[in-house]
Amino acid sequence: MFFTRKGKLKKEFDDKLVRLMKETKEDYHNAKVLEELVDDYNLDIIAQRKALEGIHFYLFKEARIRRVIIK
């Protein structure tokens, strides 16, 4: 009776986490490709890739802690 919304909220936020993980994966992949295509050494591109990499792997860590199943 008291915890009927718990499962519904968990599913909703797990879906949001999976969607965010997929978006950051695309952004991270694009940043990696961009870094490989640039001829000169550009610190802004490297910093952007490192930031996106940190965000991407943090979300995976969070999903593992919350035991989210990605379909």
CB 24 within 8 Å of CB 56: yes
Q: Residue 50: how many CB atoms within 10 A of its CB?
A: 12
Residues in the chain: 71
Of 18, 15, 47, the residue nearest 31 (C-alpha):
47
Q: For tokens 């695309």, what's the residue?
A: 26
pTM comes to: 0.76
Q: What is the pLDDT along the chain (71 residues), one digit of tens a residue?
A: 566 677 788 888 999 999 999 999 999 999 999 999 988 888 999 999 999 999 999 999 999 999 998 77
